[in-house]
Structure 1
Amino acid sequence: MSTATQVPPLAVRVRDRLARRHPGAPIGELKVLPGGHSGLTYSVAAGDARYVVKAVPPGQRPVGRNDVLRQARVLRALAGSPVPVPGVVAVDATQPAWFAMDFAVGEAVEPVLDEADVPVATARARMLEIATVLRRLHATDIHTPGFDAPEPLDATGELERWSRTLHAVPAELRPGGEELLARLAHDVPAGRSPVLLHGDFRLGNVLCAGERAVAVVDWEIWSVGDPRIDLGWFLLFTDHRNFPQVGHAVHGLPSEAELLAVYLDGRPPLPAMDWFRALGRLKMAAIMGHNLRRHREGKHHDPDQERLPPTIAAMIRTARDILG
């Protein structure tokens, strides 16, 4: 997310819309919200109400992660569903587009990666809770009016996409990567009926109050496709040992098997889950390698990225181990 200061034209547009929603109430300044990874994200007060505003950065095209109208669309489609999401209160399609949603009160903490001090028992309960949220998300009718669902993602398409990303990473940063790609390509599983996918489903993207899930946030890369794509990614965050030199030691979180059992809720096991667990690790290795390469090329200065090589190597190594 850009940490740019308030953009005056955007502030004028937001204040005008919220003033109509809250006649006579004072409208506060836009304040940058830290922690996001795309677009511009602000908080703003309107009387006693608080909202989050997501906007397309000026001068950038409203595509991919910057397509805030697409994010608003899925949030509106999920309103009132068993999946907790913030309510959308305003959408302005005039470019640069923006939308405002309710400010959901809660914390989004990834136990194995974030510094925040959350009791292990609470983190464990939250992970089990959001496994049920993921089940409900995947049970959503993707033909519901308003979704305008894109073409479904399948295992082949996901593998091709992340293969390209990994190949853009210097070879010395992805030891064993070619072998992993070859093994994944050798045995691509048959597809499942497409479901609604969050794309980055994990505890760090679910606001929680105590042990209760309040709102699933960060819908920048939602899609429809094979449910095992979301699952393979979600399960990756159960063990700090997956993230050497990056993760924090947390003992007592649910195992992958426990989370899968909660998600399945008595239904038969999903076939080929090991392939998707390995795919999740490939994706993480590719993302981290991409971020480290951008840092080293001077495109996004962040010395903390230099801690990533051991985790990238571990992701590839354990993915190969999972595949036998």
Structure 2
Amino acid sequence: MSMATEVPELAARVRDRLARHHPGAVIGELEVLPGGHSGLTYEVAAGDARYVVKAVPPGQRPVGRNDVLRQARVLGALAGSAVPVPGVVAVDETQPAWFAMDFADGEAVEPVLDDHEVPAATARARMLEIASVLRRLHGTDVHTPALDAPAPLDAAGELERWSRTLRAVPLELRPGGEELLVRLADGVPSGLPPVLLHGDFRLGNVLCAGERAVAVVDWEIWSVGDPRIDLGWFLLFADHRNFPQLGQAVPGLPGEAELLDAYGDGGPALPAMDWFRALGRMKMAAIMGHNLRRHREGKHHDPDQERLPPTIAAMIRTARDIVG
């Protein structure tokens, strides 16, 4: 599907800007890039170069996941850093806003969830590799003016936000959820200095070539806050048993303790990680419960959501076990 067919005015703006970057080059059609979950995402060739374009859908406000300028800002702030990200080549703030970034050639595979042919040894090496990438991300200076960082997230605020999401899920879809929220609220840990957070950091959002991380992508929900928020989420994807009826066994993947060691690189262990491990599970249960509820209410028909109840129950049960 070409972008020119769907959004002619936006397509013309993109093509005009890229033509200025590549005088005399043929600018190809803008094709929908599969897998995007926010805004509009396209791929386009300009001569021998390839780019990804992210744009605000016409008629929608540039907020939340549609705030593509915010995504461009964090990518620009990370340019040239120790965190691999695509380079931003054009930004257009005229509404509907869009930006173009380099096409990073690699594969984003979540070993325990995706159908794939990645060798187990490669999947293991990638997980350890991106644990160190996450450490470098958390070492970014959040006070750089280019970032224009929002107010930091703390553990209490993150718990409050996701508690609302879980409580909006019908009780029968979240067995034991209320008890879990009480336990989490009773043990909110003290905060650590805020760092740059990706918000959905995992192998499924890191393009890899072989065992090397090429680009961290999907920055729709980046923020600033406690580093353990990112870590607790990342660790969820180390074990297929966290995802009954969804996950698949991959031999040799590093466990949570090994990933934490790789992240820490010999430094002291982070305190209260169990609380954040449980928080990550609660967040996953809330997200899955929300998606299943929308399906059953007819708001977003997706029969595949009916596979989620065992995983939702497992997330809540194991989170309760972790926080005791």
TM range (shorter): over 0.9
- Structure 2 equivalent of residue 181 of structure 1: 181
Deviates more, 1:171-180 or 1:4-13: 4-13
Q: CA deviation at 1:4?
A: 11
Q: Contact (CA 8 Å) 2:197, 2:227: kept in 1 or not?
A: yes
Aligned positions of 1:236-247 closer than 5 A: 236-247=236-247
Q: Contact (CA 8 Å) 2:285, 2:315: kept in 1 or not?
A: yes
- Structure 1 equivalent of residue 7 of structure 2: 7
**TM-score where L is the length of structure 1:** 0.98
Secondary structure of residue in 2 paired with 1:52: strand
> Is the counterpart of residue 208 in structure 1 residue 208 in structure 2?
yes
Separation of aligned partners in 1, 2:96 and 2:74 = 19
Aligned positions of 1:157-196 closer than 5 A: 157-196=157-196
Q: Contact (CA 8 Å) 2:4, 2:30: kept in 1 or not?
A: no
- Structure 2 equivalent of residue 313 of structure 1: 313
Q: Decide whether aligned partners of structure 1 residues 4 and 270 sit closer, same or farther in structure 2, where only a CA change above 3 A counts.
A: farther
Q: Contact (CA 8 Å) 1:67, 1:220: kept in 2 or not?
A: yes
> Is the counterpart of residue 104 in structure 1 residue 107 in structure 2?
no
Q: Contact (CA 8 Å) 1:154, 1:225: kept in 2 or not?
A: yes
Q: CA deviation at 1:62?
A: 0.4
Q: CA deviation at 1:251?
A: 2.1
> Is the counterpart of residue 300 in structure 1 residue 313 in structure 2?
no
Deviates more, 1:87-96 or 1:27-36: 27-36
Amino acid at match of 1:209: A
Q: CA deviation at 1:161?
A: 0.3
Amino acid at match of 2:121: A
Q: Decide whether aligned partners of structure 1 residues 16 and 31 sit closer, same or farther in structure 2, where only a CA change above 3 A counts.
A: same
CA deviation digits over 1:226-251, x for unaligned, max 9? 00000000000000000001112222
Aligned positions of 1:199-238 closer than 5 A: 199-238=199-238
- Structure 1 equivalent of residue 154 of structure 2: 154
Q: Contact (CA 8 Å) 1:6, 1:32: kept in 2 or not?
A: no
Separation of aligned partners in 2, 1:295 and 1:219 = 26
Aligned positions of 1:1-324 closer than 5 A: 6-324=6-324
Q: Contact (CA 8 Å) 2:4, 2:12: kept in 1 or not?
A: no
Separation of aligned partners in 1, 2:193 and 2:5 = 44
Secondary structure of residue in 1 paired with 2:215: strand
Q: Decide whether aligned partners of structure 1 residues 313 and 277 sit closer, same or farther in structure 2, where only a CA change above 3 A counts.
A: same
Deviates more, 1:86-95 or 1:246-255: 246-255
Q: CA deviation at 1:6?
A: 3.4
CA deviation digits over 1:24-49, x for unaligned, max 9? 11111111111121111000000000
Q: CA deviation at 1:5?
A: 6.4
Separation of aligned partners in 2, 1:240 and 1:227 = 24
Q: CA deviation at 1:315?
A: 0.3
Separation of aligned partners in 1, 2:117 and 2:287 = 26
Secondary structure of residue in 2 paired with 1:224: strand
CA deviation digits over 1:124-175, x for unaligned, max 9? 0000000000000000011112000100000000000000000111110000
Separation of aligned partners in 2, 1:289 and 1:305 = 9
Q: Contact (CA 8 Å) 1:6, 1:31: kept in 2 or not?
A: no
Q: Contact (CA 8 Å) 1:30, 1:42: kept in 2 or not?
A: yes
Separation of aligned partners in 1, 2:177 and 2:203 = 27
Secondary structure of residue in 2 paired with 1:100: strand
Amino acid at match of 2:157: G
Q: Structure 1 stretches of 5 or more lacking a match? A: none
Aligned length: 322
Separation of aligned partners in 1, 2:4 and 2:186 = 45
Q: Decide whether aligned partners of structure 1 residues 240 and 146 sit closer, same or farther in structure 2, where only a CA change above 3 A counts.
A: same
Separation of aligned partners in 2, 1:9 and 1:315 = 45
Q: Decide whether aligned partners of structure 1 residues 261 and 52 sit closer, same or farther in structure 2, where only a CA change above 3 A counts.
A: same
Amino acid at match of 2:320: R
Aligned CA RMSD, in angstroms, stands at 1.1
Amino acid at match of 1:137: L
Q: Contact (CA 8 Å) 1:54, 1:100: kept in 2 or not?
A: yes
Separation of aligned partners in 1, 2:7 and 2:296 = 30
Q: Decide whether aligned partners of structure 1 residues 301 and 49 sit closer, same or farther in structure 2, where only a CA change above 3 A counts.
A: same
Q: Contact (CA 8 Å) 2:4, 2:11: kept in 1 or not?
A: no
